[in-house]
A = this chain, B = another copy of it.
Amino acid sequence: MTDRSAAVPAAALAELTSRLPPGSVVTDPDVLGSYTRDRELWAPAHPPGAVVRPAETEQVATVLRWASEHGIAVVPRGAGSGLTGAANALAGSVVLSLEAMDRVLTMDRDDHYAVVQPGVVTADLKRLAAAEGLRYAPDPGSAEFCTIGGNVATNAGGLCCLKYGVTRDAVLGLEVVLADGRTLRAGGRTVKNVAGLDLVGLFVGSEGLLGVVTEVTVRLHPAPLALGTLVATFDDLTAAGRAVARVLAAGRPSMCELMDAPTLRAVEAFRPSGLDTDAAALLLVQTDDGDAEAIARCAQACEEAGAAFVMTTHDAAEAEMLTMARRTAVDALEARGRWMLEDVCVPLSAVPELVAGCQRIGERHGVTVACFGHIGDGNMHPTVIFAPDDADAERRAQLATHDVAKLGLRLGGTVTGEHGVGQAKRDAMAEQVGPLHLDVQRAIKRALDPAGILNPGKSLG
Contact = CB atoms under 8 A, between A and B. Distances in A.
Nearest to A113: B347
A261 B16 CA distance: 61
A437 B186 contact: yes
A84 to B, nearest CB: 10
B444 A446 contact: no
A11 interface: no
Nearest to A172: B347
B436 A184 contact: yes
A379 B289 contact: no
Contact of A437 (B184, B294, B348): B184
Interface stretch (A29-37, A68-76, A271-279, A414-422): A414-422
B195 A433 contact: yes
A92 interface: no
Contact of A195 (B202, B245, B421): B421
A248 to B, nearest CB: 6
A218 interface: no
A191 B379 contact: yes
B206 A197 contact: yes
A165 to B, nearest CB: 7
Interface in A324-349: 345-349
A378 to B, nearest CB: 6
Interface string A282-297: 0000000111111001
Contact of A188 (B189, B414, B419): B414
Interface in A145-162: 154-155, 157, 161
A452 interface: no
A149 to B, nearest CB: 16
A201 interface: yes
B421 A191 contact: no
A215 interface: no
A23 to B, nearest CB: 30
Contacts of A251: 290
A434 interface: yes
Contacts of A161: 191-192
B441 A197 contact: yes
Contacts of A349: 110-111
A427 to B, nearest CB: 12
Given A345-B190, A429-B196, A169 B169 contact: yes
Contact of A348 (B111, B165, B198, B415): B111
A190 B447 contact: no
Interface in A162-214: 165-166, 168-169, 178, 182-186, 188-199, 201-202, 204-206, 209-210
What 9 A-B pairs come out closest when comparing CB atoms? A291-B291, A201-B201, A111-B347, A443-B447, A222-B249, A192-B417, A447-B447, A190-B345, A193-B414
Given A198-B204, A290-B294, 7 more contacts: A184-B437, A191-B377, A192-B379, A194-B205, A194-B416, A194-B418, A197-B209
